Amino acid sequence: MAQETRSYKVFQFPANMIPRVDGDADDWKMVPDSYTVGMDQLVNDKNLSAKPDPKNMDVKVKVGWVKGLNRLYFLYEAYDNYWDFTHPDLHNDIFEVVVDGDRSGGPLIAEQHPNKDLSWSEAYFSFHGVHAQNYHIFTPAEGKDWALAWGSQPWIKDLPYANAAYHYNFRPGKAGKLTLEFWITPFDYAGPEGPARAVETKLEENKKIGLCWAVLDYDDVNDVKKQDFWNLSREHKMYGNASFLLPFTLMPLEPSFRRPLAAQWSFQMVDPKRRLVAFTDKSEGKITAWQWDFGDGTTSTEQHPMHTYKEAGKYVVVLWVEGPAGKARMAKVWDVAVP
């Protein structure tokens, strides 16, 4: 098999345009077509030479994120000539998503645990879905939960870690189009004990995550092993091994959504005993000058200054920035408090 070279993009939604999860795709009209992953990117694991037939199944997927939120948003639009969703078990048309937020790779299901001396129970509850997660999303889900979070942590498919909504008007066994919107939270660690010790994947601009999906399509068959399995990865076992996922880059805002100039900053307490604080400029746009007011009568023109406060207290810190687009200011009231 040829070495995998494909990579994909995750669209950044502006913070004031976060998509509503309501089964309506209107919020996604702003997403350029270059972010769409179509059926032409998938391979049929049961017949590698098969070409997608849009009269049988046609799928389009877009993925998004919002800076500051550790969520991946999905729009799944699919036409199928036969929707199968009457059973209460795993027999269902499925959109299977696997995510490895920190690209740690390797097996993620009990059956593939490297230590074969472990019992199924030991492997499942200590390993399955812990460092990368697999979601079997039922398309659609009627009379059952929207997804199987395949692992020992079913809590990851519920609020506040996930949410989903559908729109469709077909009945079982009929043809039609389905729109599915959902978001999930990727985890670097998600254990069976619940969210108390969980570690969400920190999503940041230009970061690459491991991601892949498959479409499981029944066409009036009763055997779970006889469904078509259309896979974005060229490796069938991507469902249980994160090394077979593909890189998806968390993109910056598209140029049309960027502000020409906006002041923004963050800070970190470096040494509380010395009252030493590090300030980081996070402004947007082309900037030629910075002016900091630390709230104690001192200032700086550095982009990323360090400052030592002489007295304990709560301070109003202000950053002014200047560039070809003009001037901008960001003040934060009492965020900076030193002991």
pLDDT at position 45: 85
Model confidence pLDDT, tens digit, residues 282-291: 999 999 999 9
- The pLDDT, as a whole number, for residue 227 is 83
- CA 257 and chain centroid, separation: 20
Which among 279, 81, 239 has a CA at the least distance from the CA of 174? 81
pLDDT at residue 38, as a whole number: 98
| Main-chain dihedrals φ then ψ at residue 17, nearest 5 degrees | -135, 35
Q: Which domains does the chain have, with CATH numbers?
A: 8-250 (2.60.40.1190), 259-338 (2.60.40.10)
Q: What is the Cα–Cα distance from 297 to 309, expressed in whole angstroms? A: 10
Assigned token pair, 52: 């997608």
Q: Which of 131, 94, 284 is nearest to 209 (CA)?
A: 131
Which string of DSSP letters, residue by residue, matches 146-205? Answer: SEEE-SS-GGGGSTTSEEEEEE----TT--EEEEEEEEE--EEE--TT-GGG-EE----T
Task: Determine how many CB atoms are found less than 10 A away from the CB of residue 327.
Answer: 12
* β-strands 313-323, 326-338 pairing: antiparallel
**pLDDT tens digit string along 203-253?**
999 999 999 999 999 987 777 667 899 999 999 999 999 999 999 999 999
Structure confidence at residue 224 (pLDDT): 64
Measured distance CA(135)–CA(186) in Å, rounded? 11
**Tokens in use for 217?**
């399509």
pLDDT at site 49: 81
Identify which of 216, 228, 221, 176 has the alpha carbon closest to the alpha carbon of residue 46. 228
Give me the residues of the chain with pLDDT under 70, please: 1-2, 224-225
- Alpha-carbon distance 331 to 169, whole Å? 50
